[in-house]
């Protein structure tokens, strides 16, 4: 009888050890799964942060080149396949708004040729300008480098014209550079914005669009 009790005790002890080992293994696996999940979230946050940092840095470089009127440097950011579409107003007209590759942009710049960029709001007259004239009027028309509010994939300046940037550039990112109006007589309607659209190519971001915005009639 005594031996039987000892055997049962040993069996019970052995069973308890097995159960404890299984529970410990489960806890370890759960901890690993939790660690992996946290790592995944951390990587996603890091990736997002890196994209933000890259696009803001690219924007500052582009704006610096524009301020210096270094258009050759500006063209070095052009998307190598699609080039850059130039939109003088927030509604992006894929038929009227001209698209230039780096090469054609440089050619027009050197020859100082006047080309059609679309039409003026209100009058409907043709925007017939050189590259530099267009940049002065519809790209870097204000100190966007130092005086603008910047946002990633968020519209700040809102006028009375349809904004279709999310439709035309649905697979892209953009940074808006917004300068609020200062003329009290105009009730703030003298605001302006420049939106720089970026598209990835072989793992790198390139400029794919320049969208100027302002109050229109």
Number of structural domains found in the chain: 1
Domain that holds residue 100: 48-214
pLDDT value at residue 122 = 85
Q: What tokens were used for 190?
A: 């003298």
Question: How many Cα neighbours within 13 Å face the side chain of 195?
Answer: 29
108 occurs within a structural domain: yes
pTM above 0.85, yes or no: no
The whole-number average pLDDT for the span 134-140 is 98
114-127 pLDDT per residue, tens: 999 999 998 989 99
Q: How confident is the model at residue 5 (pLDDT cuts 50, 70, 90)?
A: very low
| Residue 20 counted as domain residue | no
Share of the chain above pLDDT 70, in %: 77
Count CB atoms within 10 A of the CB of residue 60: 13
Q: Is the pLDDT of residue 158 over 50?
A: yes
Beta bridge partners of 194: 177, 212
Q: How confident is the model at residue 28 (pLDDT cuts 50, 70, 90)?
A: very low
In the chain, which ranges are continuous DSSP H helix?
2-67, 71-75, 102-111, 131-138, 144-147, 165-168
Evaluate if residue 150 carries a pLDDT over 80: yes
15-23's contacts with Cβ under 8 Å and 24+ in sequence apart are none
69-78 residues labelled b (16+ CB within 10 A) or e (exposed): eebeebbebb
Q: By percentage, how much of the chain surpasses pLDDT 90?
A: 68
Q: How far apart are CA 149 and CA 156, in angstroms?
A: 9
More confident residue, 188 or 91: 91
2 in a domain, yes or no? no
Predicted pLDDT of residue 109: 97
Tell me the per-residue pLDDT of 64-85, one tens digit each, with 9 for 90 and over.
999 999 999 999 999 999 999 9
Is 42 within a domain?
A: no
What is the per-residue pLDDT for 107? 98
- Contact predicate 63/145, CB 8 Å: yes
Minimum mean pLDDT range among 12-16, 38-42, 192-196: 38-42
21 belongs to a structural domain? no
18 lies in some domain: no
Owner of token pair 């890091």: 46
pLDDT at 40 over 70: no
The gap from C-alpha 112 to its chain's centroid, in whole angstroms, comes to: 31
pLDDT for 93? 95
The CATH number covering residue 153 comes to 3.10.450.50
Residue 37's pLDDT is: 40
Q: What is the pLDDT of residue 92?
A: 97
Average pLDDT, whole number, for the chain? Answer: 84
């Amino acid at each position: 009888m005594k031996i039987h009790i000892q055997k049962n005790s040993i069996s019970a002890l052995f069973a308890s050890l097995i159960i404890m080992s299984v529970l410990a293994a489960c806890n370890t696996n759960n901890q690993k799964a939790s660690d992996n999940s946290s790592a995944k979230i951390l990587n996603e946050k890091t990736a997002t942060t890196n994209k933000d940092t890259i696009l803001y840095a690219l924007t500052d470089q582009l704006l610096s080149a524009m301020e210096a009127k270094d258009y050759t440097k500006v063209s070095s950011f052009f998307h190598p396949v699609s080039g850059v579409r130039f939109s003088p107003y927030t509604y992006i007209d894929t038929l009227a708004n001209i698209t230039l590759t780096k090469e054609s942009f440089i050619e027009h710049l050197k020859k100082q040729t006047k080309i059609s960029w679309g039409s003026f709001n209100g009058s409907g007259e043709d925007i017939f300008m050189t590259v530099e004239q267009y940049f002065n009027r519809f790209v870097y028309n204000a100190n966007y480098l130092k005086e603008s509010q910047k946002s990633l994939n968020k519209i700040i300046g809102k006028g009375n014209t349809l904004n279709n940037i999310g439709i035309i550039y649905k697979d892209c990112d953009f940074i808006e550079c917004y300068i609020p109006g200062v003329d009290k007589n105009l009730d703030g309607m003298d605001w302006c914005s420049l939106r720089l659209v970026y598209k990835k190519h072989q793992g790198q971001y390139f400029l794919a669009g320049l969208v100027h915005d302002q109050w229109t009639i």
